[in-house]
Each structure stands twice: as C-alpha cells, then as structure tokens.
Amino acid sequence: MGEHIQITSGDGIEIGAYVARPSGPAKGGILVIQEIFGVNGHIREVTDGYAQSGYLAIAPKIFDRIDKDIELGYEEADMGQGIELAFQKLNMAQTLSDLQAAIDELRREQDRIGLVGYCFGGLLTWLSACDLQGVDAAVSYYGGGVVNHAEKQANCPVMMHFGELDAHIPMTDVEKIRSAQPNVQLFSYDADHGFNCDHRASFNQVAANQALERSLEFFAEHLVR
C-alpha cells in the first residue's frame, strides 16, 4: 500500500519516511512515530492500518540520522541495539526537529494532524504534543520516560495507553502522570509493554483492539471536520 519518500528537515538533511494513502479522500493526517526498532514491518503495518481507516499516514525514519533504513526485530540483541540508537546516539532536539518537518510535510496536504507513537515513539509523541507546532491530537502508547516530563503542558488533546503488567513503566509512574495531567485521557490494560505489536510475545489482542478503537474515536473527534 505504501511508498517511501524523503523529507527535508530544518537543517537541510533528508530523512526517509514511509507513506500510506487512503483509497478515498483523507479524513486528516496521522504521523506514526516508531519504536526503538525503526520503521520496520510492524510500523509499516500500523501506518497502513491508519490509511485503511481513512487517514494519510506517514512514519518518519528518525534513525536515518544515524544510518539509513535501520530496521530491527524484537530479539534481545535487537532490543539492546535499539536502546543504544534511541537513547545514546540520537539527539533529542534534532529528532524533534525532524518530527516537525514530518508534520509540516503532512500539512502540505491535510489541515488537521494527529500523532500516534509507540514505546520510544510514545515519549516522542508526548514531547511533540507539548513542544511542536501544528499538532491537533496525540495518542501515546506505553511511552517510556513520559513520567520524567509529566510537568509539561500539551498544546492539543492527548490520549495515553499503558499496560498494567509493564515492568518498564510501573503503575506508580502511570498514576504520577494521571495526577499531573488530569486533562489527558489515560487508559490502562491487563497487558504488558508492547501489547499493540503482533510481532512480539507481549501482544495482547483484546488490549490492542480496545486501544485502537479508542484512538480512532479520539482522532475522529479531533481531526475530522
């Protein structure tokens, strides 16, 4: 369904992106923000899914700053490599600038833009909702590290999804976020970290379906005119 394009960031550097288009007129734009595993098969499937739901969807390859077209799996070695890429090799300010460029690319065609991100992308979704321009709604899935930025204020409506069995994000952290952000629609599920990804052992069909249904309703409310 999709195609690969290049997006020019604010400093003139080009990064790749995977784009999926709906079969008819788009309801709006959705920026899909990757996990620590790159824009791999799963993220492309997520992007295709939002296109099938009627949105123009783009997944920027934020690891292109390090090396082109990095795609990782979900084994232990991949996990270690992904953590190093995301938290040691990426420059956060530069990454947010690249995400702004992707938002701007979507805005060339769509008036209203939503963000959805997973894991590391869940954190980036929250930071983007607070610090970037042109975001109309944002959905964060199990965003590791969001609790460290819970004092920030979003410039758009935000929804968050967490797994109650997630050892990486304890429910004490989720409650801190809930307390600091009473306007955020926050949901938790009887599921582990990565419950949305059907390529992982932690996939939970019930939680994934419920979170997606809520996310699509949320985007329809805030993006569709």
- Positions annotated as catalytic residues are 119, 166, 193
Question: Inter-axis angle of helices 120-131 and 92-107, to 10 degrees?
Answer: 70
Of 183, 187, 120, the C-alpha closest to 157 is 183
Phi-psi region of 119 (alpha: psi -120 to 50; beta: other; left: phi over 0): left
Token pair belonging to 62: 């934020």
Query: H helices of the chain, where?
Result: 41-52, 76-84, 92-107, 120-131, 171-180, 205-223
Determine the longest span between alpha carbons in the chain, in angstroms.
45
